Amino acid sequence: MDDTNNSDSDNIRCGEEDKARNFTSPSPKGGVFTAAAPTQQAPLPPQPSSRGSSATRPRRPTRSTRSPLPRTGPSPAPPLLANPRPATSPSPLRATPPPTPAASPSPTPTPPPPRAPRRRFLPPRPPPPLRTVFGCIFSSYDSSAAAAATHGLLGMNRGALSFVTQSATRRFSYCISDRDDSGVLLLGGDAGSALFAPRLNYTPLIEISLPLPYFDRVAYSVQLEGIRVGAALLPIPKSVLAPDHTGAGQTMVDSGTQFTFLLGDAYDALKVEFLRQTRALLTPLNEPDFVFQGAFDLCFRIPAAAAGAGAGAPLPSLLPEVGVRRGGDGVWCATFGNSDLVPMSAYVIGHHHQQNLWVEYDLDNRRVGFAPVRCDLAAQRLTEALSL
C-alpha cells in the first residue's frame, strides 16, 4: 500500500476514534496542539509533488514506524486537518513559509551589441588610372611674350571630351597671375578657396536645356548685369545683356580666350566712355582701317619714353602692346573687343580680365565664385604648403 492509501486510512481512523472529543498532540515547545473534530469538506485538488521540500508540504505526527514502501504511483496529496489555521497565523509546530509568487515569464535577454570590427591600418590604395582622351593642336597663335612656353590647352568646359567631364570633377578653381607665368589650378574640394580666398562672391550659372542655335550649352554662362568704366555705369538696357530667343547674347566665363568681347551695342557704349575719360591722357591712333586681330579697334599711340617711365607703368594692365609701332611710338589697344567683328554672338569674359582673381567653379551648386587675390603670392603659398 502506498502513502496515499495510508494517509486516507489514518484520516478515517482519526475521525472514528476521536469523534466528539479533541485530539491532542505534544508540542515541540511543551505546549499542546488542539484540533477540533473534523468536519466534512471537499477534498483539495491534487498538487504537484514536492517530495524532499518540507517548506511546501506540511507534515503530521507519525503514528507508526512502518518503513515506507517504494513509491510507484503519483505523488500523494497533503493530509487533511480539521479546521486548519489561517495562512496568516503561524503554526506552533512549523512556521508556514511565505507564499511563493507566481512565476512571471522572464524577459527575453537583450543580445549584446555587435562588436565593432578591429581597424586594420593599411596603406592607402593608389587611385585607379584615369583613362582620358587627348587631342592634338596643329597650329596656334599667341601674342603674349610667353607664347613659346605654351604647349597645349586643357579643356575645362562641360563638354563630353573635356577634362572636367572625363575625370568627374565637380569643383575646381584657378588663379591667373598678371606678373609672370605662375598661377594655381586646384581640382576638387574647397580647401584652396578657403585658404586663399575666404570671401568668394558667387553668381549662379545660367543653364538652358532647350537647344538654341546661338547658345553654347557646354560653356560656363552667367548673367551680365552691367558694365562700368571707372565709376560710370554704362547706359546699356538689360535686354541687351541677356540672351534672346535664339540664344545670342549669353555671357561666358572663358579662361581660354585671351581678351574680353562685348556685343556691338555694349562695345560702342564702352568705347565712347573710355575715350571721354582718357582724352587728356591718351592719344587715339585715328586709323579707321587698323583693327588688331580683327576685333580691337580702340587703339592709342604711346611714346616709348612714356611707356617706360613711371607714369606709363600701369598701362600694360589695361592696354597691352600689340607689337606694332608708328615711328617712335608704340601702338596699344584696349583689351575689349567687338564681338560683331569676329563674328561672335556672345559676351566673353576672357583670360586678361580674370587676372588676380580667384575663380571657383562649383558644379554641384551650379555657381561660380570670384574674389580678388594676388595670384603670384597664392602660388608661392601653395608651393610652401606642399613642401611641408
CA–CA separation, 70 vs 374, rounded Å? 108
pTM of the model: 0.63
pLDDT at 142: 64
Nearest to 82 by CA among 23, 38, 21, 32: 38
Question: For the purposes of burial, counting CB atoms within 10 Å of the CB of 113, is it exposed (0-12), middle (13-18) or buried (19 or more)?
Answer: exposed
Cell 584652396: give the residue: 192
CA–CA separation, 119 vs 26, rounded Å? 78
Cell 575666404: give the residue: 198
In a domain, 220, yes or no: yes
In a domain, 210, yes or no: yes
In a domain, 233, yes or no: no
Number of separate domains in the chain: 1
- Could you tell me if 26 and 51 are in contact, meaning their C-beta atoms sit under 8 angstroms apart? no
CA–CA separation, 237 vs 66, rounded Å? 127
CA–CA separation, 339 vs 347, rounded Å? 7
Nearest to 337 by CA among 359, 322, 358: 322
Query: For the chain, which residues score pLDDT lower than 50?
Result: 1-39, 41-42, 48-58, 61-70, 79-82, 87-93, 310-313
Cβ contacts of residue 86 below 8 Å, gap of 6+? none
Cell of 320: 597691352
47 Rama sector, left if φ>0, alpha if ψ -120 to 50, beta otherwise: beta
Q: State yes or no: cis peptide before 109, omega within 30 of 0.
A: no
In a domain, 334, yes or no: no
pLDDT at 119: 64
The C-alpha angle with vertex 27 and arms to 21 and 32, in degrees rounded to 5, equals 35
In a domain, 173, yes or no: yes
Cell of 328: 617712335
CA–CA separation, 332 vs 270, rounded Å? 17
Cell of 167: 575625370
Distances 257 to 140, 254, 348 between C-alpha atoms, Å: 12, 6, 8
Cβ contacts of residue 168 below 8 Å, gap of 6+? none
In a domain, 204, yes or no: yes
CA–CA separation, 306 vs 304, rounded Å? 5
Question: For the purposes of burial, counting CB atoms within 10 Å of the CB of 2, is it exposed (0-12), middle (13-18) or buried (19 or more)?
Answer: middle
In a domain, 358, yes or no: yes
Domain that holds residue 158: 154-228+353-387
In a domain, 266, yes or no: no
